[in-house]
Amino acid sequence: MPKQESQRILGIDPGSRATGYGVITKNGNRLYYVICGVIRLGDKYSFSDRLKIIFDGLCEVINTHKPTVAAVEDVFVAANPRTALKLGHARGVAVLAALHNGLKVHDYTPRMVKQAVVGYGNADKKQVQQMVRVLLQLSASPSADAADALAVAMCHANQTIIDGEVIIG
């Protein structure tokens, strides 16, 4: 079997109040957990302050954990255009943080992410958390936003595995 390059994937689940991030490495067909977390922004921050904190926070994650590629969840398109506009601001700066640091960005819909991790496109948040915990052999479930971010990274890892299933640990 040919030697496979290792990849370090940053997954991002963007939102204006909570942006989840997670880093995994893929070595051959094996996935390893590196880090995950959530940039949480309460009401004390103005909307534009939040954009800057999301951008700066993700830049720090990238500079610290040195991912080689980014996968960003395509946000749920709300029925309300005003909400979609806000989500767009947050997702725009998240994508930019990756691009600004030289990472190529891949987009995945929530459906693709759930399909890849749970095997079922309509899975709920709890199922995603549970599967992320099991597949990455974590001792506890990450919070929902961090689990979503790890799931996006795992979804991207799946896309680039050619010969067979992901093997964990």
Measured distance CA(46)–CA(113) in Å, rounded = 31
Contact between 58 and a second copy by CB under 8 A: the answer reads no
Q: Which of 43, 73, 148, 165 is catalytic?
A: 73
Q: Quick check: 93 and 16 in contact, CB under 8 A?
A: no
Contact between 89 and a second copy by CB under 8 A: the answer reads yes
Contact between 86 and a second copy by CB under 8 A: the answer reads yes
Residue 145 known to be catalytic: yes
Per CB under 8 A, the list member of 60, 99, 119, 159 interacting with a second copy is 99
Q: Which of 13, 49, 148, 163 is catalytic?
A: 13
Contact between 80 and a second copy by CB under 8 A: the answer reads yes
Measured distance CA(39)–CA(125) in Å, rounded = 18
Measured distance CA(20)–CA(13) in Å, rounded = 5
Residue 13 known to be catalytic: yes
**Contacts with a second copy: how many residues (CB under 8 A)?**
27
The residues annotated as belonging to the active site are 13, 73, 145
Residues that bind a second copy (CB under 8 A): 48, 51-52, 55, 75, 77-93, 95-96, 99-100, 105
